[in-house]
A and B are shown apart, each in its own frame.
Chain A
Amino acid sequence: MGSILYLNQIFYLCCFFQFTEVMHSVGAVELTFELPDNAKQCFHEEITKDTLSTVEFQVVTGGQYDVDMSLESPTRQILYKGIKKQFDSFTWTAAQTGVYTVCFSNEFSTFSHKLVYMDFQVGDEKPLPGVGEHLSAMTKMESSSIQVHENLNTIIDYQTHHRLREAQGRKFAEDLNAKVFYWSIGEALAILCIGIGQVIILKNLFTDKKTVSFT
């Protein structure tokens, strides 16, 4: 009987921890996706009230490297609307609990596919297990380790931005390389056709009419 009561307590404790995990909607998702021409892609996330969230996006390839982005609150209020932007970042505190929608639109473009990178961060970073329940003051070691951790997070963030910029340049260079190849072959064929065509047309001009004598 005692062991059953003990099991009871364990289960309730598990439920409590799961519950607290649920109550803070935390997390960050980075996604890179392709947006075809005339397409719109929306992402939704449930955010609890008073959570600081950030949406960041950057266009990696495609056309003029621009995309439309809009952010809607659960009450259909437009919190942010960017037209034809190449990259941007928007931070807001959720005024109410509900589903927030981020939409990317490429509807203004007729034939260019866009590759868009998006980073949707909700709330603060999840703390390390055990750190959250710290009741006593932190030692110098712990606080400086937290500082190192935050600096490393910044470095990783800068690396991501650097990677995206470099990917932009690299993909453009690869595209240019392919274009030069096909264009040069095409132009060689065009010169050939035009050259032979000119001779044939000229010959046709002189064979049908009577020979003109130059005196």
Chain B
Amino acid sequence: MELVIHLSFMYSFIVFFTFISSSSSLYFHIAETERKCFIEEIPDDTLVVGNYKCQLFDPRTGGFMPSSPGIGMYVEVRNPSDKVILSRVYSSEGRFTFTSSSPGEHVICLYSNSSKWFSGTQLRVHLDIQVGEHAIDYRNVAQKEKLTELQLRVRQLLDQVEQISREQNYQRYREERFRQTSESTNQRVLWWAVAQTFFLLVMGFWQMRHLKSFFEAKKLV
């Protein structure tokens, strides 16, 4: 009996501290029905990890309730071709991950699954998004593969260099897109100038011919 009380006290202690450590990140406020989106421009094959926590405003205390189990958060992730690659409802506190399959702008949207039609109370959302090399948990890696300090450091350097080279590759792809857009604009301006001149000439001729026949009919010319 004493042992059970002791162990349960330990567990609650740990849970309490895990709780505190997870709330020491950036937070912002949104209305209950509001949708907040963040854009991540990333190369392909990049891991993105997001940790979030949602708290509901408590009008009785004027602050935010430490934990609001009733709320869920919709997390929707769209890839650069505007296709939804992740759309799930998580509990009020959770973690989402995805790996990008194509390079470009991914949009991560968060909104609560509140069923209200107009904006209800305020929500405090703690958010932490880590991309690429920052998303890797080296503690896990060290434990799983039993690496020494130096080996772990080298692994970290390898991951960083890989991220850099992927970003450089993506940069080349974007620059090509930029060049294509500029060339397309150049072409369009050229065609527009030619077509406009032609259009004006045709218009002028048609006007003169139409008016001449009109005046001839009126016996003015």
Contacts and interface: CB of A to CB of B under 8 A. Distances in A.
B193 to A, nearest CB: 9
A92 interface: no
Given A166-B178, A170-B177, A180-B189, A188 B150 contact: no
B117 interface: no
Contacts of A142: 149-150, 153
Nearest to B179: A173
Nearest to A158: B164
A195 B149 CA distance: 79
Contacts of B20: 22
A134 B150 CA distance: 12
A163 B171 contact: yes
A173 B195 contact: no
Interface stretch (B65-73, B75-83, B88-96, B199-207): B199-207
Contacts of A21: 21
B195 A156 contact: no
B160 A152 contact: yes
B17 A19 contact: yes
Contact of B138 (A42, A129, A187, A212): A129
A173 B185 contact: yes
Given A149-B157, A202-B211, A211-B220, A29 B206 contact: no
A130 B156 CA distance: 13
A11 interface: yes
A153 B164 CA distance: 10
Contacts of B25: 27, 29, 45
B163 interface: yes
Contacts of A184: 188, 191-192, 195-196
A33 B38 contact: yes
A206 interface: yes
From B29, B134, B195, name the one whose CB has the most chain A CB atoms within 10 angstroms: B134
Contact of A180 (B7, B10, B127, B188): B188
B27 interface: yes
Given A177-B181, A191-B199, A203-B214, A130 B152 contact: yes
A212 B129 contact: no
A49 interface: no
B29 A173 contact: no
A87 interface: no
Given A11-B10, A22-B17, A33-B36, A170 B196 contact: no
A174 interface: yes
B102 interface: no
Contacts of B38: 31-33
Contact of B14 (A7, A14, A28, A188): A14
Interface in A6-36: 7-8, 11, 14-15, 18-19, 21-22, 25, 27-34
B85 interface: no
A124 to B, nearest CB: 14
A135 to B, nearest CB: 12
A62 to B, nearest CB: 13
A29 B28 contact: no
Interface in A182-211: 184, 187-188, 191-192, 195, 198-199, 202-203, 206, 211
A176 B185 contact: yes
Interface string B1-37: 0010011001001100110110111111100000011
11 contacts: A15-B14, A30-B129, A32-B41, A33-B37, A34-B39, A120-B26, A156-B133, A166-B174, A170-B177, A180-B188, A211-B218
Interface of B: 3, 6-7, 10, 13-14, 17-18, 20-21, 23-29, 36-41, 127-129, 131, 133-134, 138-139, 142, 149-150, 152-154, 156-157, 160-161, 163-164, 167-168, 171, 174-175, 177-178, 181-182, 184-185, 188-189, 191-192, 195-196, 199-200, 203, 206-207, 210-211, 214-215, 218-220
Given A15-B17, A18-B17, A145-B153, 7 more contacts: A11-B14, A128-B156, A149-B157, A156-B133, A159-B164, A167-B174, A191-B203
